[in-house]
Amino acid sequence: MREIEPHVSGVECLFVPQTGIVDYTAVSEKMKDQLNALGVEIHFNEKVIGISRTESASHVQTNAATYSATLVVSCAGLHADRLPA
Ligand SMILES: Cc1cc2nc3c(=O)[nH]c(=O)nc-3n(C[C@H](O)[C@H](O)[C@H](O)COP(=O)(O)OP(=O)(O)OC[C@H]3O[C@@H](n4cnc5c(N)ncnc54)[C@H](O)[C@@H]3O)c2cc1C
């Protein structure tokens, strides 16, 4: 274990050679560029404060704007259950 990670402590470990450490900021930037190229808009620093639904669409209200879509996927992590539906 310590040959690979000198600061780890434990009894035994599994070594999975296919794993790695990535620069996730760089991964995110690349994903953003590719999505932007497909016409996707990404809005940063907006807090979702409400989600409502009408017959034709769902409406996501943030502190800055309201966005309407036929499908909304909420990815708020551990806070997903706190997002008003
Ligand atoms: C200390 C720590 C170490 C970890 N290490 C690993 C690891 O080594 N490997 C691994 O696979 N997993 C690891 N995990 C777990 C991993 O981080 C989570 O499983 C993963 O981040 C979940 O992704 P997610 O997109 O569902 O949620 P998140 O990454 O939590 O993203 C949710 C996002 O929604 C945003 N959000 C919440 N509410 C609102 C709102 N009202 N309006 C707008 N935005 C909102 C939050 O700000 C956040 O940016 C670790 C977790 C922790 C806490």
66 CA → ligand 1 middle, Å = 24
76 CA → ligand 1 middle, Å = 8
The CA distance from 37 to 82, in Å, is 32
How many domains does the structure of the chain reveal?
1
Cβ of 51 closer than 6 Å to ligand 1, yes or no, is no
In a domain, 2, yes or no: no
Note down the domain range covering 74. 24-82
In a domain, 45, yes or no: yes
In a domain, 14, yes or no: no
In a domain, 7, yes or no: no
The CA distance from 79 to 18, in Å, is 31
- The number of helices, as runs of H, and strands, as runs of E, in the chain is 1, 3
In a domain, 72, yes or no: yes
Would you place residue 79 in the very low, low, confident or very high pLDDT band (cuts 50, 70, 90)?
confident
In a domain, 58, yes or no: yes
Strands 58-62 and 48-53: antiparallel
In a domain, 78, yes or no: yes
pLDDT tens digits for range 36-75: 999 999 999 999 999 999 999 999 999 999 999 999 988 8
Neighbour order of strands in the sheet with 66-69: 48-53, 58-62, 66-69
